[in-house]
Amino acid sequence: MTETTTDTQQTYHMPRIGDAAPEFTAESTQGPVNFPSDYKGKWVILFSHPADFTPVCTSEFMTFAVMEDEFRKYNTELVGVSVDGLYSHIAWLRTIREKMEFRGWKNVDVKFPLIDDVSMNVSRKYGMIMPGEAETSAVRAVFIIDPEAKVRTILYYPLSTGRNFDEILRVVKALQTADEFNVATPADWRPGERVIVPTAGSCGVAENRMTGGEEDVECVDWFFCTKAIDEETVEKAIQK
């Protein structure tokens, strides 16, 4: 997919899973950000929100801020983006800290950077502007980017729907588990549940698995084989 800006006639190719994360330099509430070079060796959740001083976005930022330490256990940093300016960002985050309450959370301090994207440069590079939804606001996009600065997951939500933060954290854990153990994770997987081993690449391997010749591997059929990795082992491997 591509998007062409009418002002500059520049065409951006929206990133896909496996692509290098588009680079940008921007101001933020935590100072200048050079992305992704500032986050070398870390996982990053780069996410956009439609506008400051809006209720759904406020609930999301409070949730991300409360969960920030939990994400950091998994070597994962948070970076927010919207098309509002820096002073608007600062005023909004101050309002969140001083006035807002959500799910019993009060005095929530948003410490991760929120990028000033008035130019829409970042939003356009990442395909966060969806004209059918809004011409001048970013949708609720989530990009999970790995330590090699590769896009690993892309999630989009409409303006009206707040994100599922448990799912975002679950995806981070699943990606890291897949990388660490060379496995895949089934539907609704969480650490401690059985994982899927790579499909047999030959008849011999398939037969060996089906007859119990591969230790700790259980097969329903030759293409669907799983093994157990306990939660403690998974968490120890992926927490940094």
**What's the pTM value of the predicted model, to 2 decimals?**
0.90
User: Does residue 177 form part of some domain?
Assistant: no
151 Cβ contact list (under 8 Å, min separation 6): 15, 16, 17, 18, 19, 20, 21, 143, 144, 145
**Nearest CA among 144, 136, 94, 134 for reference residue 114:** 94
Percentage with pLDDT > 90 across the chain: 72
Q: How many domains does the chain have?
A: 2
Residues 24/121, Cβ–Cβ less than 8 Å? yes
User: Does residue 218 form part of some domain?
Assistant: yes
Tell whether the model's pLDDT for residue 69 goes beyond 90: yes
Q: Same domain for 53 and 158? A: yes
The half-sphere exposure of 232 on its side-chain side, counting CA atoms within 13 A, is 0
The pLDDT of 79-89, averaged and rounded, is 95
Tell whether the model's pLDDT for residue 131 goes beyond 70: no
Positions annotated as catalytic residues are 57
Tell whether the model's pLDDT for residue 218 goes beyond 80: yes
Annotated ligand binding at 94? The verdict is no
The pLDDT of 33-39, averaged and rounded, is 97
Percentage with pLDDT > 70 across the chain: 89
pLDDT at 22: 96
Structure token pair of residue 60:
């999301």
In angstroms, the Cα distances linking 160 to 35, 40, 46, 73, 154 are 28, 33, 19, 30, 18
Q: Same domain for 26 and 122? A: yes
pLDDT at 165: 96
Q: Same domain for 162 and 228? A: no
Q: Same domain for 81 and 194? A: no
Domain that holds residue 191: 182-238
Q: Same domain for 123 and 188? A: no
| Phi/psi-derived region of residue 149, left when phi > 0, alpha when psi is between -120 and 50, beta in every other case | left
